[in-house]
Chains A and B, each alone.
Chain A
Amino acid sequence: MPPSSEPASRQAPKLCYHCGEEVPSGLELAILIGGEMRPMCCPGCRAVAGLISASGLETFYQQRTAYNERPPELPPANADQYLVYDDPQLAAGFSETGPDGAITARLLLGGISCAACTWLIEQTMMRLPGVSMALVNLQQSRLDIRFDPAQLPLSQVFARLDALGYRVRPFQASTQRLQMSREYRLELRRLAVAGLGMMQVGMFAIALHAGDIQGIEGQYQGLLRWVSLLVASFVVLFSARPFFSTAWRHLRQGALVMDLPVALAIGLAWLASAWATFTGTGQVYFDSVVMFTFFLLLGRFLERRARQRHNITWFDAQGTLPDAVSARRNEQWVTVPRVQLVAGDLVLIKAGDTVPVDALVATGASAVREDTFNGEPLPRRVTAGDTIYAGTVNVEAAVQASVLGSYLESRLAALQRSVEQAQTGKPRLARLADRVASWFVGAILLITTGTALVWSQLAPEQAFWIALSVLVISCPCALALATPAALTSAASALRASGVIVRGENALEALSRATHLIFDKTGTLTEGALAIARIELLGDASREQVLAVAAAMQQYSSHPVARAFSELEPAGGLQQVEYLVGAGLEAQRDGHTYRMGSEPFCRGQAPGLAHAPAEPLYWIALCRDSQPLAWIGLYDRTRPEAAAVVTAARQANMEVQLLTGDSSSQGSILARELGIEHVRSGLEPQQKMAHVQSLQQAGAVVAMVGDGLNDAPVLGVADASFAVASASDLARTQADFVLVDGDLHSITTTWRKARQGRRVIMQNLAWALAYNVCAIPLAACGLVPPWAAAIGMSLSSLLVVANSLRLNNRPRD
Chain B
Amino acid sequence: MDSLYLLIPIALLFCAIAIKLLLWAIDSGQYDDLDKEAWKILADDEPPRESADGQAPHNTSEEKQS
Contacts and interface: CB of A to CB of B under 8 A. Distances in A.
A231 B19 CA distance: 12
A137 interface: yes
B33 A185 contact: no
Contacts of B15: 196-197, 199-200, 231
Contact of B12 (A126, A217, A227): A227
Interface stretch (A57-65, A585-593, A639-647): A57-65
Contacts of B52: 129-130, 151
A193 B19 contact: yes
Contacts of B57: 55-56, 127
Contacts of B59: 56
A136 B4 CA distance: 48
Contact of B32 (A55, A139, A231): A139
A776 B31 CA distance: 46
A408 to B, nearest CB: 33
Interface string A92-132: 00000000000000000000000110110001001101100
Contacts of B26: 185, 188-189, 192
Contacts of A34: 63, 66
A54 interface: yes
Given A119-B43, A123-B47, A223-B4, A56 B36 contact: no
A63 B43 contact: yes
B49 A127 contact: yes
Contact of B39 (A58, A115, A123, A227): A115
Interface in A344-380: none
A181 interface: yes
A137 B33 contact: yes
Contact of B66 (A35, A116, A224): A35
A116 B12 contact: no
A181 B27 CA distance: 11
Chain A interface size, as a band, is 35 or more
Interface in A24-76: 34-35, 54-59, 62-63
Nearest to B18: A196
A196 B19 contact: yes
Interface string B1-44: 10011001001100100110011001100011111101110110
B38 to A, nearest CB: 8
A533 interface: no
B11 A200 contact: yes
Contacts of A188: 26, 31
Contacts of A129: 52, 54
Nearest to B58: A56
A555 interface: no
A305 B34 contact: yes
A184 interface: yes
A436 interface: no
Contact of B50 (A127, A192, A220): A127
A401 to B, nearest CB: 41
Interface string A374-397: 000000000000000000000000
A57 B32 contact: no
A230 interface: yes
A181 B31 CA distance: 11
A138 interface: yes
Contacts of B58: 56
B65 to A, nearest CB: 8
A185 B15 CA distance: 20
A230 to B, nearest CB: 7
B5 A119 contact: no
Given A116-B43, A129-B52, A231-B15, A136 B36 contact: yes
A116 B43 CA distance: 9
A671 interface: no
A62 B11 CA distance: 46
Nearest to B53: A129
A118 B4 CA distance: 50
A35 B59 CA distance: 12
A626 to B, nearest CB: 57
A217 B19 CA distance: 31
Interface string A413-424: 000000000000
A217 B2 CA distance: 12
Interface in A178-211: 181, 184-185, 188-189, 192-193, 196-197, 199-200, 203
Contact of A118 (B8, B36, B49, B50): B36
B32 A192 contact: no
A220 B19 CA distance: 26
B33 to A, nearest CB: 5
A780 to B, nearest CB: 37
Contact of A58 (B8, B31, B46, B66): B66
Contacts of B39: 63, 115-116, 118-119
B61 to A, nearest CB: 12
A192 B22 contact: yes
A230 B62 CA distance: 54
A163 to B, nearest CB: 15
A61 to B, nearest CB: 8
Contacts of B5: 223
B34 A35 contact: no
Interface in A229-244: 230-231
B27 A185 contact: yes
Contacts of A138: 33, 35-36
A194 to B, nearest CB: 10
Contacts of A223: 4-5, 8
Contacts of A115: 35-36, 38-40
A129 B52 CA distance: 5
Given A126-B49, A129-B52, 19 more contacts: A34-B66, A35-B66, A56-B57, A56-B63, A63-B39, A115-B39, A116-B43, A127-B57, A137-B33, A185-B26, A185-B27, A188-B31, A192-B23, A196-B15, A199-B15, A217-B1, A220-B4, A223-B8, A231-B15
22 contacts: A35-B64, A54-B56, A55-B50, A55-B57, A56-B57, A56-B59, A59-B43, A59-B62, A119-B40, A119-B43, A126-B49, A130-B52, A139-B32, A139-B35, A185-B27, A188-B26, A189-B26, A192-B22, A200-B12, A220-B1, A220-B4, A224-B8
- 3 smallest CB-CB distances across A and B, nearest first, come from A115-B39, A129-B52, A127-B50
Interface of B: 1, 4-5, 8, 11-12, 15, 18-19, 22-23, 26-27, 31-36, 38-40, 42-43, 46-47, 49-50, 52, 54, 56-59, 62-64, 66
Interface of A: 34-35, 54-59, 62-63, 115-116, 118-119, 123, 126-127, 129-130, 136-139, 151, 181, 184-185, 188-189, 192-193, 196-197, 199-200, 203, 217, 220, 223-224, 227, 230-231, 305, 309
